[in-house]
């Protein structure tokens, strides 16, 4: 299966698309994100899709609907479409 290997950089986070919505029939996208740990990204609102984060290693503070959630290695969090996250 072809992969999009072009990296994007947002707020100091390197993002690589491993599977696109087109490749999954619009079901989901899969990104690998890496940072040096000292990064902040803007708070997005995704109107057309949900987002799930799985922490392979490290830690992350995710804000969903103005509530902060702490994630560490092995944690997972779901962010529904239309909700500021």
Give the confidence band of 43 by pLDDT, cuts at 50, 70, 90: low
Give the integer Cα–Cα distance in Å for 78 and 19. Answer: 18
The residues facing 51 across adjacent strands are 79
Per-residue pLDDT at 2 exceeds 50: no
Whether 81 has a pLDDT exceeding 60, the answer reads: yes
pLDDT at res. 1: 38
Structure tokens at 19: 């599977």
Distances (CA, A) of 7 to 15, 32, 33, 66: 5, 10, 9, 29
Q: What is the pLDDT of residues 17-40, one digit of tens each?
A: 888 878 888 788 788 888 877 777
Average pLDDT score, the chain: 79
């Amino acid at each position: 299966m072809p992969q999009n290997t072009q990296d994007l950089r947002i707020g100091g986070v390197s993002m690589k698309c491993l599977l696109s919505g087109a490749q999954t029939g619009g079901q989901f996208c899969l990104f690998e994100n890496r940072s040096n740990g000292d990064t902040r990204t803007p708070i997005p609102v995704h109107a057309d899709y949900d987002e799930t984060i799985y922490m392979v290693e490290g830690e992350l503070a995710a804000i969903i609907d103005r509530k902060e959630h702490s994630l560490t290695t092995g944690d997972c969090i779901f962010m529904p479409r239309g909700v500021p996250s």
